[in-house]
Amino acid sequence: MMGFSLGSVLMSLGMRSEADQVSVDAITLFVGLLCTCIIIGHLLEKNKWINESITALTIGLCTGIVLLLTTEGRRSHILVFNEELFFIYVLPPIIFNAGFQVKKKQFFRNFMTITLFGVVGTLISFFIISLGSAQLFKMLNDVGFLEMGDYFALGAIFSATDSVCTLQVLNQDETPLLYSLVFGEGVVNDATSVVLFNTLQRFDLSHTTSGIATQFAGSLCSLFFTSTLLGVAVGLLSAYIIKKLYFGRHSTDREVALMILMAYLSYMMAELFSLSGILTVFFCGIVMSHYTWHNVTENSRVTTKHAFATMSFISEIFIFLYVGMDALDIEKWSAVSKSPGTSVGVSTILLGLIVLGRAAFVFPLSFISNLTRKSPDDKIGFKQQVTIWWAGLMRGAVSMALAYNKVFGLVTKPLIRFLLPLRKPLSSMVESELSSPKFLMLPLLQNGHDREVAMNGQNSTTLPLLQNGQDPEVAMNGQNGTTHPRSLCMLLTTPAHSVHYYWRKFDNAFMRPVFGGRGFVQRIPGSPTETVVS
């Protein structure tokens, strides 16, 4: 092999097989379509019914039709998008970025509810879908005989929420509680799914015993714990390395490269050890935004913040574009056309069971969760419960039939507007006043001012009270001034006895001195040159 000499370009040109040419075609077309999606998505932004993912779906669908016509019905998509490609390259940046930009305080305040939804809720949903389909599929002809294990597999697949869809439809700034609950549930139930599937493979499920339940609970706990630990460990290691070596002294690029590579490493290690990569990389993102991000230069901060968001953005559009093309897959439709009655029957039953399974845990678990919440402001209202139930319906529906997902996605945004009108004027005001800097300056000076100061290259002198842990997301979204004063109030009303208070004490006493973090990294005071050197 010629390795990487430029001369070998001619070898590759000469030896380029038909397969290579197809791959260049496909990538060129796909990249072109991605650009088109971004441009059209931007132009249509004002339209409240259409977002970037729906644009990408539509463009994918149109491209699929054109491809079908030009290839005379042979194929509708251009890249063979296998599971491996998705789980190794496309998913990690999306989940990592979600962890990196998540409002940590909001997330950890609802941690118990999220775990309840993600574990107990998924299990309830799993049993309703598995047992329900086992009963109802018997009424259909043509389905053929399925073993109990197949029904359990169906249940496991369709009981998991899709966190990628959630990111597209819910907005962290407009509806922070809903976002953290639904998205957090999506992250946590990935671990549940992994354990569910391992359990299904290992045990004979035709006669369920209490022994299996205990083992299941044990392996779930251990998986949850080890996955989280791995993510936290890799995140802390990156913080420690960058703090000790202080890469920024020489190169912003090295810091950024190391952060990207170590985040990806955490995901791949989790996959390697059969853990939940999604949980791992999510927690790695949280730790990196809390420690590592504060140890790097200003340029690295701006770069990582936007580079991670961009990678996530491209990956999301990629997925929706692909799903649009995939919807026209000949083989799938020919399978449907052979027995249309059965397909419609199966789809209807599954859809019904998903809706029912989700309702069966969202409302009871919300009720239980509300019992532990003292402040009435903090409780999950009925309208919010309806939104959680609805927004979490998006899932494998995409693979069952594109139409379902599209319907759910299209209706969720207006549903939120309709059910939660209290927040609507506020958030839309923020949106419309985005061009006026004054509106933004006010909340930013209250909470996020140290970020903004640091942005201008000056020394960040943080007030202890303001260290409430919301870091890269502050500068990310100018609109979050609406939520911060509330969390600040919370902190003032219940300052001494919250878990958060003890965590912060521990963090300041032991963690930050070792791993860095806001206010624990020495800078040359009053020197504006740091932004220039790097």
Site for a second copy in 45-104 (CB under 8 A): 45, 81-84, 86-88, 90-91
What is residue 528's DSSP assignment? Answer: T
Site for a second copy in 429-448 (CB under 8 A): 434-435, 437, 440-441, 444, 448
Among 59, 262, 281, 286, the residue binding a second copy under the rule CB under 8 A is: 262
Among 121, 132, 186, 285, the residue binding a second copy under the rule CB under 8 A is: 186
DSSP string, 1-62: --TT-TTHHHHHHHT--HHHHHHHHHHHHHHHHHHHHHHHHHHTTT-TT--HHHHHHHHHHH
Interface segment toward a second copy; rule CB under 8 A; list 133-141, 316-324, 344-352, 465-473: 316-324
Residue 269 sits in the site that holds a second copy (CB under 8 A): yes
Among 370, 399, 468, 482, the residue binding a second copy under the rule CB under 8 A is: 399
Residue 13 sits in the site that holds a second copy (CB under 8 A): yes
Site for a second copy in 139-178 (CB under 8 A): 153, 156-164
Angle, vertex CA 43, rays to CA 439 and CA 28, nearest 5 = 125
> Where are the extended beta strands (E) located within 152-257?
none
Residue 197 sits in the site that holds a second copy (CB under 8 A): yes
With contact defined as beta carbons under 8 Å apart, do 160 and 185 qualify?
Answer: no
DSSP string, 157-182: HHTS--HHHHHHHS-TTT-HHHHHHH
Q: Terminus-to-terminus CA distance in the chain, angstroms?
A: 38
With contact defined as beta carbons under 8 Å apart, do 473 and 101 qualify?
Answer: yes
Q: CB-based contacts of 2: which residues, under 8 Å, 6+ apart?
A: 8, 11
**Site for a second copy (CB under 8 A): how many residues?**
126
Interface segment toward a second copy; rule CB under 8 A; list 20-28, 176-184, 211-219, 379-387: 20-28
426/499 with CB nearer a second copy? 426
CA distance 272 to 268: 6
Interface segment toward a second copy; rule CB under 8 A; list 33-41, 131-139, 417-425, 465-473: 33-41
Cβ 390 to a second copy shortest distance, Å: 17
With contact defined as beta carbons under 8 Å apart, do 506 and 432 qualify?
Answer: no
14/425 with CB nearer a second copy? 14
111/246 with CB nearer a second copy? 246
Residue 231 sits in the site that holds a second copy (CB under 8 A): no
19/492 with CB nearer a second copy? 19
Residue 247 sits in the site that holds a second copy (CB under 8 A): yes
How many CA atoms lie within 13 Å of 507's alpha carbon, on the beta-carbon side? 19
134/260 with CB nearer a second copy? 260
Interface segment toward a second copy; rule CB under 8 A; list 14-22, 224-232, 416-424, 464-472: 14-22
